Structures are given as structure tokens and as C-alpha cells.
Structure 1
Amino acid sequence: MTLPEASPSPIPVALSSASVYPLSVHDAFAMAQDLGYDGVEVMVTNNSTSQNPDLLRGLSARYDQPILAIHAPTLLLTQQVWGRAWTKIEMSAAMAAEVGAKTVVVHPPFRWQSGYAENFAEGIRRVTDEYGIKIAVENMYPWKVRGREAKAYLPHWNPIPEPYDAVTWDFSHAAIAGMDSFEEIRGLGERLSHVHLTDGTANGKDEHLVPGQGEQRCAEALQHLRDSDWDGVVAVEVSTRRARGAGEREEWLAETLSFARENLGH
């Protein structure tokens, strides 16, 4: 089976399968093709298709959509997928290599995963070397309980000061944390490997809005990536669960794709 290849230039814009939730991974590939995306980021979940490299390769070929990234099942809601923490990372990297993706997105360890967190930076570097896949740690945000910050991640929700070689930047998470994505992306330089394009506000909710509906400087950040000859992938991760009318989900995702391409200089 011959899989489609991503174009090396300009910066590719992928559709995250999380953006079509609660629809299926199959729907994500079909929608990516219909709307003209450059590929798909597959979030590994309880959905069996998302865990099966053979099925994913079949969808990639059928819809002419390369798989540009794998999101490891490191969310709170996917703790039961693929067992132990390091097994999740290694299986995600192995699947990425098998389907032709170059990046695996991971969340930092949760506070209760102290053993996993202890050598996290060294561990992801080992997996990167073993599989030849970038393991890009995503920026998260502080959890608050009754108005006070609770320590949810180890060593921290912010990957910037940590010794990670590769980072994924999410605009919605940055909004919750009160961070300026434009400035942080500029500061990350070559460590920035992957972007989750969305938007948000500082109201404490992980909103994953269509860019322009929140407070982040999404356009300026994308323009910076364009002007700096960045070689990563921009993956659209917009929540469409509130879509109600016929075609509304597609409208939001088409609008976000248009926004990305306009600011990336496509």
C-alpha cells in the first residue's frame, strides 16, 4: 500500500481527529479530504481504529491524507488505553513510525505518576532515539480547586523551562495559563516541533475556540512561523462538540483552515 506523502512546503495544516469528536477517526479523514487539509493528526483514544496502524494506513490511502502526527493516549480520559505510561509512549512512537508520522504529541506526567515523571525528559529522549520519532511535550495549564492552584503535573505544566528537545504548543492551554502564545513561540525557537491551532480565553476553561474568537495572538504567531522557515506541522484542534446545525462543524473547521493558510502564506 502506497501512503500519501506530505508536501515539504509550505507549512502543512493537519486536522486533529479530536476536532471532530464525538465523530470517529474515519470521519476525521473524510472531513480532512473534503475540506482540503494537508493531513491528519490522530489522537489515540478508546476507539479501536485510532489504535490500529493497519486501519489508519488504510484510511490514509483511501482519503489521500498523510498522517502527520500521533497524539499519545496521555490524557486523563485515556489512562486505560495501552496500559502503563511508558508503554503508551513507546507504542505511540512505534505506530507513528509505521504510519509515516514524524511526531508524537504527549502531555507531561500527572502528579500521581511520580515514578514515570522522575526521568521523563531522559525517557522521551530515549524513545526518540530508539524510534526516530520526535516526542513533543505539550504545554498544559494550572488546575485550580476552589480558586487555588493544585499541582496536577510533574515536573510542571509548562514545558518551556524543562529540558525537552521538542515541544507542542496549544493556544487554548496557553490562554488558560495566561500566556502570550506569540511571545512564547518566538522564545521556543527550534524546540517548537508542533502546534495545536485553536484559541481561548483566560476564564479557566479549555475552550478550544476557532482562532479569532479568543484572546490569543494566533495570526501573529503563525506569521512568525511562516517568516522563520519553521519545518513543523500546524494541527487544527478546535472543539466542535457544540456544533448544532447541518454543516456547522464543517464550517468551523473550514474557517480555521482558511485562517491558518492565510497567515502561513499558502
Structure 2
Amino acid sequence: MVALSTASVYPESSAHAFAYAKSLGYDAVEVMVGIDALSQQTAAVKQLSDHHELPICAIHSPCLLFTQRVWGTDPWGKLERSAEMAHAVGADVVVVHPPFRWQREYAAGFVDGIAAMEESTGLAFAVENMYPWRASPRRGVEMYLPGWDPSEENYANTTVDLSHAAIAQTSPVEMAERLGDRLRHVHLTDGSGSPKDEHLVPGRGAMDAQGFLEYLSSVRFTGHIVLEINTRKASTREERDADLRESRDFARMHFRA
């Protein structure tokens, strides 16, 4: 299943993301719950899915810096709301980032809490790889607890994001090898190794996205492959459409289930 993240069309809305996904023949959509008010409304998201006849494969919980007040400020409450939306729209994965360092109480019980959430909801809470924040070209600052690399913790389900791997200067294939069958979800994108979270069209960066997809094929990966790219520099809808089309074609060309 090759899906499109609604984040890929920002600053256009979630409604536009569904329209792009339908017109370009994507298999499904991942909804990033964010500052777009529509993305926060379960009924509206379900209506978009029904209207475009596109399934929703995952809900991305609002755990970014700029979404800290979306659905309140309680991090566990956000995950509960994400699970409720996932159940309502038929998604089987909730994507979540590890806690920030300053969320100490949340972080202290995070690993066990995620396991408990999975048991109580029947959903996969796929913890995403993040990255050290660069204080200098040679020095990174750990901003996540218990850590940015989910392969070092006992999570049952995880997400690998190639743009985040680029910032961390780590191989996504090696991370996937460490995770084994705990790899449940993929954010297919790319990065140059810059400290910026670039989310390039796959194939335009230095992460060997082609090799990563070929590795997934070789181990018979059965999770979701979600295109999560940055198209903010597109000056027209035609340019955005072209980037989304190129990303779709790249995924289907290099991944063989």
C-alpha cells in the first residue's frame, strides 16, 4: 500500500490532500492531525475518506512543536483522541513521536504506556525515529526521551522516516535491520544530511531511498509506505502535483511486494 500523508500538500488543506491522492492513484491517506482545523475533526476526515473512496491507513498524532496545543496539552490525551479517530475512520496505525526532554513525566512512563495503549485499543502505536538537534556540525543535543532511535527501546511497532534518518546521519536500512518485524510503518522521503528536516522527494537526497525500498521488498515488508514530502516550495498546483506524482512512481518502481 502506497499512501499519501496530508502533510505533503501543506500549506494546502487536508481536503486538498485527499483530492491529490485520488487523482494520482494513491492507495490510501495518512492524516496528520495539525493546525488545519479540518484534520482535527473526525467526522470531516471520515467524510473526505468516504467521498473520495480512499481508506485512511494511519493517524499521525499531534506531537510536533507547533501542534502542542492541538487537542489540549495532555500528551496521553492526544494519543487517546488519535486512537478514537483511528477507530472511527478505519485506520490501524497511530504514528507518534517520542517525548521531548521537558516532558519528563510523560517520558518516564512512555515505553510501558505505549504498550498499554496498544493492548487497550488494538491499534499499532508506531513510534517514529527522530534525531539529535545539531548544536554544531560535530555536536548533537538529545532532545527526546527515552531517545530518538526507536530501535533502542522495546516498542512493538515503529516508524522509520528517511528525512529524520538523514539529520541523524544514520542508515535507514541498518535501523530497519535492527527493528526487524517491529517496523510497521514507513515515511518515504529523503534528505541531504542537512540539520534541516527537509522531507525531499525520494531519490533527490543522499539516503539511497531506492536501496531502502529494495531492502523492504527483500524482507517482504507488509506495512504502510507513506509519502511524506515537503512541497512548500512549489509555486503552482501543477508543480506540487508533479512532485507527488514523481514520489508515487518512485515508490511503486522500487518496491515490489
- TM-score, normalised to structure 2's length? 0.96
Q: CA deviation at 1:231?
A: 1.6
Quick check: 39-48 or 145-154, which moved more?
145-154
1:241 aligns to 2:232 (yes or no): yes
Q: Is the 8 A contact 1:180 1:217 kept in 2?
A: no
- Superposed CA RMSD: 1.2
Partner of 1:111: 101
1:102 paired residue among 85, 92, 98: 92
1:183 aligns to 2:174 (yes or no): yes
- Corresponding residue SS for 2:95: strand
Letter in 1 for 2:185: H
Quick check: 176-185 or 232-241, which moved more?
176-185
Query: Which aligned pairs between 1:159-178 and structure 2 lie closer than 5 A?
Result: 159-178=150-169
1:216 paired residue among 186, 207, 230: 207
Q: CA deviation at 1:146?
A: 4.7
Q: How far does the alpha carbon of each residue in 1:186-207 deviate from its partner, in whole angstroms, 9 at most, with x for none?
A: 3311000100000001121111
Query: Which aligned pairs between 1:1-266 and structure 2 lie closer than 5 A?
Result: 12-83=1-72, 84-147=74-137, 148-265=139-256
Q: Distance in 1 between matches of 2:217 and 2:87?
A: 27
Q: Is the 8 A contact 1:15 1:32 kept in 2?
A: yes
Q: Is the 8 A contact 1:26 1:59 kept in 2?
A: yes
Letter in 2 for 1:176: I
Q: CA deviation at 1:246?
A: 4.5
Q: Distance in 1 between matches of 2:79 and 2:46?
A: 20
Q: CA deviation at 1:150?
A: 2.1
Q: Distance in 2 between matches of 1:48 and 1:60?
A: 16
Q: Distance in 1 between matches of 2:199 and 2:77?
A: 28
Q: Is the 8 A contact 1:186 1:224 kept in 2?
A: no
Partner of 1:8: none
Letter in 2 for 1:125: A
Q: CA deviation at 1:263?
A: 1.1
Q: Distance in 1 between matches of 2:148 and 2:188?
A: 19
Letter in 2 for 1:35: L
- Corresponding residue SS for 2:240: helix
Q: Is the 8 A contact 1:104 1:134 kept in 2?
A: yes
Q: Is the 8 A contact 1:139 1:157 kept in 2?
A: yes
Letter in 2 for 1:71: H
Letter in 2 for 1:55: A
- Corresponding residue SS for 2:187: strand
Q: Distance in 2 between matches of 1:187 and 1:151?
A: 21
Query: After the TM superposition, which segments of 4 or more aligned residues of structure 1 sit over 6 Å from their partners?
Result: none
Q: How far does the alpha carbon of each residue in 1:155-211 deviate from its partner, in whole angstroms, 9 at most, with x for none?
A: 111111111111100000001101111222133110001000000011211110011
Q: Is the 8 A contact 1:117 1:155 kept in 2?
A: yes
Q: How far does the alpha carbon of each residue in 1:48-107 deviate from its partner, in whole angstroms, 9 at most, with x for none?
A: 211111111110011111001000001111000112010011110111111100000000
Partner of 1:5: none
Unaligned runs of 5+ in 2: none
Q: CA deviation at 1:151?
A: 2.5
- Corresponding residue SS for 1:104: strand
- Corresponding residue SS for 2:152: coil
Q: Distance in 1 between matches of 2:168 and 2:220?
A: 27
